[in-house]
Structure 1
């Protein structure tokens, strides 16, 4: 810069010095020396002053103008033009004005790319000269170079605006401006950086591109992802920014931009002049100013001081927004996305849209007006609410949440969680189901707790009456006031206090008091199935009338109570006065009863109890093992009482109908036993007692001490011994059989002669009609056993005690019967079923559950006498028959098993009771009147076997597909110990082909296959039979035997053991077995039990003669050895 020369301050002062000197010289010469000296001194001072003033005046007249200020780009730069504006320089009074402004500039040059890029400015020089006028004015003292000092780059006027044109697009410049007057240049302005704009529509695909400070980008420029603008830029409108873009601090955006890409980062001080839409993950790190109704994508982040208040427009925020600092939201009804996080001490003025779920509000949040919050809103600390707010499900509230302002009603959704004590005020707030409240929470005024499963922590206090919904849970000491109502399944911890005011509490069903409660004197109403804690005390009368309440041990009642059905007192309990108990009450060990209790039916004293001096016990009472009844007390026992082992009655007692003694008891002389009483085994009767009808004595009962009087219907177990001269009456049932006439014992064994007895399984003579034998039945003993009849019956469920009835039927009165066909015994009758006619075997029994209440399947076992079978009838031929009294028809019972060693048949799955009998088919030639075609499947063959399938592991059954032209097909399965009868399968897909499917059970409870490792399948009709032995250890636990009846010839038999069989050679057989079995002679036991039925081998004439002689009779009697010879044994014998 050129400076003003100080010598110029004295320009023009020469004349003053010359003239002054001349005056002084003249005066000095005209006066005396002294005067002249004085005069000279005076004049010198005057001239000195004048010179000083003149110099000062000259300097003031040439002062430098102040620097221009406020330099700016007053118009947006273009690619070739920059417009600068500034504030004029200050000019001192009296100084010449600004005639022009002198402008210099420096141009930025950059080298390298990415991290290696560097930029710098060159030296300053006169700006461009293009379009700028050269200005005049004095050069000043010592300045003579017009080219150098008559400055170019001048504006040519005092105007404070300059246009620079013809520039390079995107170039950065620095400018300095000086005021120019007649006296020269003024002070320099501050350096100002300006940039020309880049062209519109540019595209930058390299994210490492570095842009200089203040780069001007034309409209519609697009940038690569992850572009980092480290310095301020001038962006035109409609720029498109890639994901991960970063902007510098204090960046401003004029016009709408495309911020739709994700994870764009804006530094603090960013300002947006108009509405924008931001993509996912936009990050505003500090104070940011927004204008208009903006839209933010998910997961946006906002730093402290974000300002959305301008204009009050609605902002729309995506899910997962994070306001890490307090924001200025203003009055706009902004929409916040799910899982938005707000900063501590955030305030909200006006209604906002918080309807999305899982928002989180930090402590100190304040709401100036009513709001509606979505599911899962989380208020982590003290929060202040205003008005009647609505909260979605699963809201969480920290300590100090304040809902008391204005007393408005709050509506809380289900699952709310108040982790700290809240201020609810007096509003009748509505709380949703499963709400959780903090420890020591207090409630003033009535609240709506009607929703279910709310949980109140310990120390909760209620100032007034409340109504609670189902499943309310009060975990610890809780204080209630007034007459509250509790829904079903409420839970109360130790110390719950209902005593304030003595008001009546109403508890729903299933309440659980896990700790001792303070009930006070109120006549509280407890619901069914309420549970009370150990050591609970009750003062005053309570309402225990509902059923199935449970009282833990050591409960104490201060006064008389009435208990409902099924009350359960689990341990020692102390009662006061004459209480009333409903049906099926249970009492634990040590229950102490004063005299005169009223027990309902089915009272169960599971532990030894203490009874008062007089007591009446109900029907179905059950007493504990070892119960002792004091001798001096008076006890009355009703029907069907059950006494367990070790009971001591103290003195003679009277027992009513159906009483049961499950073991040996201590009886006293003169005891009285009513009808149908059941005694345990090995009971000894040492004294004379009184027995009613239908007594049931267990095995090894001892009556030898003295004779007793027995009445009809009495049954005696095996091993019972009697006193000599004891009379066994008519229609009583010793273990040997039913007494058809009385008998007097001659010894302790007392075995009546056969003429006096109907032994198990024997025929009853027509015209003889014994009485029904009654036996007591209870849930604890759901079975009936009458050894003398060989009859056993088991019930699945007995829900009501009573007497069952087993009545031997007079053969002459057997319903639906006629004279027997094959059996010659006079006691046998013939009955018809849909499968054919049968002769009864033994005595039919009319069975009834009587007065007992039973349900489920029933199992019965009936005896038979194997010596009473008609010739040609085997035990395997026997079936059980059942008479339907409604349809008045007989049918064959399925699922029956013959125990040949015990001579009985057991049937399962029976669903109704009525007459039952064992039977055998009436005719082998023409059962049921059917004509036989004995040659239907070849000479002498009326039976065809197509397939045998077995499975002893899962299905536990054998299935046979067969055809018959001579009566129904019968299926039986044999082991060494037992026989199982089969029946028709439910599905019959081959009836059109005259084939039936039969099934018989094979299971260890029926056939002990494991013992013999084999079982035999017998299929027969009225003319032919076929049997096959299966060895499970050889043939497998499951398999299929296919018989290919080509002209009904058994010569091709295929045995399948698994999915991949291997062939093993066998004469006339295709046998598939795995793993590689060695053929055994007994592997396929193919026994012929009827004439004219074999596998038709090719026989020689000699062999034919032997065969004919063997089967010459119509009904050959085979020896056991012949019966057990297998088909292969016989076949191989032909070649030996």
Structure 2
């Protein structure tokens, strides 16, 4: 086509230069000669065609000439270079650059290489300065006190004089050397096989010896490795984790560090004391005519160890590598662990928590500590008296001997075989199904596994507080003693007798009339709809229970809907819910003049909680020490102590912690009957929203508690506004109720103008103490002379702090406990170890990881507030003060300083005499009879820093003045530039600062 031009377009990519990559490293290669050396380096990337080699000769120690080219371009890709024509003892630094057609790379990191020094050089007249990496000829002699800055390569038969110091990781393995006098060897030094040391040396850590000869007793650092059999002289001292070769002999007793590892059969001197966590090889022999000390903890023994005669072992011994030969009557410390098929032939003594693997054989009667653990089937050829808490595995056969199981809390696995007439101690726990002998009598607190079968043709006798797992079958009518607990649905046959306090699980069915004792509990969906039953006083029924048409329920029974105030007859619908006037519903106010009977409940060390569904009442216990009954008694409001009638029928008004509180539900008196507990408890009470006064929110409801002859408000509580209940953690029992303040202001800050700080003396009688440590009470006058408490790492200490505040116990919501502390000054920085409780939140500042666990519980004791600190330590801590800082809602602060209060170590024993020095608690306001009260912090540290310009937050002068309760618009700049720093450094108090501001603005 005429007049048309056609073009073909193509894209041409530009070519970018790809110069070689930098060689990563270079090194001398091989052993140099007196006239030559070889260097090597890593190859460059990007296809080099050659390398530039630069060098600079050392002219004096550490001083080098300028860089020059040794080879401008090798013109090949070899990465080694041998340089010849040199002189002995010359030394250079090198660097390498890659070359190709696109250019030259940057040079590699510099490295050093030199020629071999002449043989038999004598430097004995004076010390020399040698750069790291020298090669010394054979027979070199060095001066006294020679110092080698870095590692060197030494030839054969060097002579090193007294005071020589070698760098870490020095390698002498090529040749034996001559060391005269005392020399210092850095960490990681390695010696040639057969090296001799005729004098005392100074060895660092991780040394490596090979068949060495020590003609003088030495002290070795940690991690020394002794290959083969060394020759030691005298009593040497070895650091931790030393490793010894097979066949080592020690001529006399040595001092071994923890973790010593004897890798073969070792010949020890008699009277040898072994360190903690020592490890012994298989087949180690300890001759019968020699004495050894195995008291240190955590040793490990190889298989086939022969102990020669009876020995005494410390804690945490590990014999699990294989069978050992124990001779005579041995004593094993706590937590000893043994291998399968171990044989014990004599009457040995075991500490607590020993563990035995399958196939262990006991040919004699042992002395047992508590909590022995037997894994798998064991063989007991002689009658044993087992200790408390012994645990036996499945299918253990005890029929060949008559053993004693009278101790508490033993555990037996499924299919265990017992002889007839076996007796068991309290709390025996049968964790699997067992075919018990006929006429078996069970102990108090016996516990049975799910699906246990008691055949109809066999007689069994149960005891109090028995506990049965779900699905048990009883074969025939049985008699169950007091406080029996059935967990889940059981199969009962005929008419059984259930004594007081029986607890049934959900959906239990009864096919015949039963005899039920008082205070029985029936779980959800229990069905009595087919026949009438007779229920004992105080019986409790959970939700979904169905009753037979015409069933009578007596006054004082507690169906799920409430406490019956009079007897009723059930209609045909099965629910048996009468008119509301005949029962007290959960959260309802009891009418004055009505006084129901106390309701009994059961707790044990296996069932530590109970509920009363018909009252909405729940309770649990941290620790039950004696099983028994707990009573819950709804109180006739007209008899409620120190109260007046409220505006609603049945409500009562009390003064609790300085605040007027009106109850909105029935007050319950909770008391221990036969049960005994220790520690904290949680209690849950319901409330009816319709009883809450106008203007009061659910979140502001309080639990009140009558204790110490006064009403107080509990402050360790949570409000469940969905299910309408309040749960509190408490430390004592007495009447409890739920109430509301008169206008919704339940417990506030006490109002402005209050500058009275919490007190450790006000209202304290002779029997009241502000401080309790390890269950010992201390008055304020005793604080400076409290003995140092020794604590073992991992174990906890409990410290109780009690105080009074004029605004009521609820007014104190913040406490700090400082440990790892010296003196009474708080630095307010991140280097301090402090446990903080603030309005139920617990915070831990622990920069040195000293604390293993920390918990704080706040409770009200009469007109005082108590903080219970429970703290355990992960690491040792030198003798430390404790400093408490407490402030109330008005920021009035008190301090309590306890000098030399704690020391933490692995043993829990005193490390030395307690210092007689004491510190004043505060300066200049030292505590004498009562702590100094400083109304601070009025200003938080962050707020102060924000106003002063020390942080990113910006706070204006008017905002700052308003925050401290002053009117004004401007603060002079010189104040802002100087005084905040004085406050933060503790040179003046916040109150002094505020006083100065008030003077300035006014």
Deviation at 1:643, TM superposition (A): 0.9
Alignment of 1:949-1098 (within 5 A): 988=889
Deviation at 1:767, TM superposition (A): 3.1
Matched, 1:767 2:587: no
Matched, 1:285 2:111: no
Alpha-carbon distance change, 505 to 443 in structure 1, aligned in 2, over 3 angstroms? farther
Provide the rounded CA distance (Å) in 1 between the counterparts of 2:303 and 2:116. Answer: 49
Q: Is the 8 A contact 2:58 2:92 kept in 1?
A: no
Matched, 1:362 2:192: yes
Alpha-carbon distance change, 427 to 347 in structure 1, aligned in 2, over 3 angstroms? farther
Aligned residue number for residue 676 of structure 1: 501
Question: 3-state SS of the aligned residue for 2:638?
Answer: helix
Residue by residue over 1:286-316, the C-alpha shift from the partner in whole angstroms, topping out at 9 and shown as x without a partner, is: 522316343244647454532439xxx7352
Question: 3-state SS of the aligned residue for 1:640?
Answer: coil
Q: Is the 8 A contact 1:226 1:246 kept in 2?
A: no
Alignment of 1:171-190 (within 5 A): none
Alpha-carbon distance change, 301 to 845 in structure 1, aligned in 2, over 3 angstroms? same
Provide the rounded CA distance (Å) in 2 between the counterparts of 1:803 and 1:737. Answer: 21
Aligned residue number for residue 388 of structure 2: 565
Deviation at 1:661, TM superposition (A): 0.6
Provide the rounded CA distance (Å) in 2 between the counterparts of 1:695 and 1:986. Answer: 48
Aligned residue number for residue 162 of structure 2: 333
Question: 3-state SS of the aligned residue for 1:563?
Answer: coil
Deviation at 1:698, TM superposition (A): 1.4
Residue by residue over 1:501-540, the C-alpha shift from the partner in whole angstroms, topping out at 9 and shown as x without a partner, is: x322322222233x32533302222232222223333322
Provide the rounded CA distance (Å) in 1 between the counterparts of 2:141 and 2:699. Answer: 99
Alpha-carbon distance change, 913 to 466 in structure 1, aligned in 2, over 3 angstroms? same
Aligned residue number for residue 355 of structure 2: 531
Q: Is the 8 A contact 1:864 1:918 kept in 2?
A: no
Deviation at 1:416, TM superposition (A): 0.8
Query: In structure 2, which of residues 704, 707, 712 is the aligned counterpart of residue 882 of structure 1?
Result: 704
The more displaced of 877-886 and 663-672 is 877-886
Provide the rounded CA distance (Å) in 1 between the counterparts of 2:182 and 2:386. Answer: 58
Query: In structure 1, which of residues 915, 920, 932 is the aligned counterpart of residue 735 of structure 2?
Result: 915
Aligned residue number for residue 812 of structure 1: 638
Matched, 1:905 2:725: yes
Deviation at 1:633, TM superposition (A): 4.6
Alignment of 1:94-109 (within 5 A): none
Provide the rounded CA distance (Å) in 2 between the counterparts of 1:470 and 1:208. Answer: 58
Query: In structure 1, which of residues 457, 462, 465 is the aligned counterpart of residue 286 of structure 2?
Result: 462
Question: 3-state SS of the aligned residue for 1:788?
Answer: helix
Matched, 1:790 2:616: yes
Alpha-carbon distance change, 847 to 878 in structure 1, aligned in 2, over 3 angstroms? farther
Question: 3-state SS of the aligned residue for 1:498?
Answer: coil
Provide the rounded CA distance (Å) in 1 between the counterparts of 2:529 and 2:631. Answer: 29
Alpha-carbon distance change, 667 to 292 in structure 1, aligned in 2, over 3 angstroms? same
Residue by residue over 1:267-292, the C-alpha shift from the partner in whole angstroms, topping out at 9 and shown as x without a partner, is: xxxxxxxxxxxxx9997535223163
Alignment of 1:519-918 (within 5 A): 519-545=343-369, 547-575=370-398, 576-580=401-405, 582-723=407-548, 726-745=551-570, 747=572, 748-754=574-580, 756-778=582-604, 781-793=607-619, 801-820=627-646, 822-823=647-648, 825=649, 827-833=650-656, 837-848=660-671, 851=675, 853=677, 855-856=679-680, 858-864=682-688, 866=690, 879-891=701-713, 897=719, 899=721, 904-909=724-729, 912-918=732-738
Question: Gaps spanning 5+ residues in structure 1: where?
Answer: 1-205, 211-219, 229-243, 252-258, 265-279, 931-954, 958-984, 992-1043, 1045-1136
Aligned residue number for residue 295 of structure 1: 127
Deviation at 1:733, TM superposition (A): 1.5
Deviation at 1:896, TM superposition (A): 5.5
Q: Is the 8 A contact 1:443 1:463 kept in 2?
A: no
Query: In structure 2, which of residues 218, 222, 225 is the aligned counterpart of residue 393 of structure 1?
Result: 222
Q: Is the 8 A contact 1:433 1:451 kept in 2?
A: yes
Matched, 1:376 2:202: no
Question: 3-state SS of the aligned residue for 2:704?
Answer: strand
Provide the rounded CA distance (Å) in 1 between the counterparts of 2:123 and 2:660. Answer: 103
Matched, 1:305 2:131: no
Deviation at 1:816, TM superposition (A): 1.4
Aligned residue number for residue 246 of structure 2: 421
Question: 3-state SS of the aligned residue for 2:614?
Answer: helix
Alpha-carbon distance change, 511 to 245 in structure 1, aligned in 2, over 3 angstroms? farther
Provide the rounded CA distance (Å) in 2 between the counterparts of 1:541 and 1:676. Answer: 41
Alpha-carbon distance change, 779 to 864 in structure 1, aligned in 2, over 3 angstroms? farther
Provide the rounded CA distance (Å) in 1 between the counterparts of 2:697 and 2:221. Answer: 77
Deviation at 1:713, TM superposition (A): 1.1
Higher Cα Rg, which structure? 1
Aligned residue number for residue 319 of structure 2: 492
Q: Is the 8 A contact 1:706 1:723 kept in 2?
A: yes
Deviation at 1:886, TM superposition (A): 0.8
**CA RMSD across the alignment:** 4.6
Matched, 1:411 2:237: yes
Structure with the larger RCO, 1 or 2 (CA within 8 Å, 6+ apart): 2
Q: Is the 8 A contact 1:898 1:905 kept in 2?
A: yes
Provide the rounded CA distance (Å) in 2 between the counterparts of 1:766 and 1:207. Answer: 107
Deviation at 1:846, TM superposition (A): 1.5
Q: Is the 8 A contact 2:584 2:590 kept in 1?
A: yes
Q: How many residues align?
A: 668
Residue by residue over 1:940-973, the C-alpha shift from the partner in whole angstroms, topping out at 9 and shown as x without a partner, is: xxxxxxxxxxxxxxx999xxxxxxxxxxxxxxxx
Q: Give the alignment's TM-score, normalised by structure 2.
A: 0.59
Alpha-carbon distance change, 518 to 830 in structure 1, aligned in 2, over 3 angstroms? closer
Alpha-carbon distance change, 482 to 758 in structure 1, aligned in 2, over 3 angstroms? same
Q: Is the 8 A contact 1:846 1:915 kept in 2?
A: yes
Provide the rounded CA distance (Å) in 2 between the counterparts of 1:613 and 1:487. Answer: 44
Question: 3-state SS of the aligned residue for 1:608?
Answer: coil
Question: Gaps spanning 5+ residues in structure 2: where?
Answer: 1-54, 69-82, 95-111, 751-838, 842-885, 893-957, 959-1002
Provide the rounded CA distance (Å) in 1 between the counterparts of 2:745 and 2:437. Answer: 75
Query: In structure 2, which of residues 236, 257, 279 is the aligned counterpart of residue 432 of structure 1?
Result: 257
Deviation at 1:683, TM superposition (A): 1.2
Query: In structure 2, which of residues 271, 274, 282 is the aligned counterpart of residue 450 of structure 1?
Result: 274
Q: Is the 8 A contact 2:261 2:278 kept in 1?
A: yes
Q: Give the alignment's TM-score, normalised by structure 1.
A: 0.52
Provide the rounded CA distance (Å) in 2 between the counterparts of 1:580 and 1:796. Answer: 28
Question: 3-state SS of the aligned residue for 1:430?
Answer: coil
Deviation at 1:809, TM superposition (A): 0.3
Q: Is the 8 A contact 1:572 1:592 kept in 2?
A: yes
Aligned residue number for residue 989 of structure 2: none
Provide the rounded CA distance (Å) in 2 between the counterparts of 1:841 and 1:835. Answer: 19
Question: 3-state SS of the aligned residue for 2:669?
Answer: strand
Deviation at 1:769, TM superposition (A): 1.9
Provide the rounded CA distance (Å) in 2 between the counterparts of 1:890 and 1:412. Answer: 63
Provide the rounded CA distance (Å) in 2 between the counterparts of 1:813 and 1:222. Answer: 97
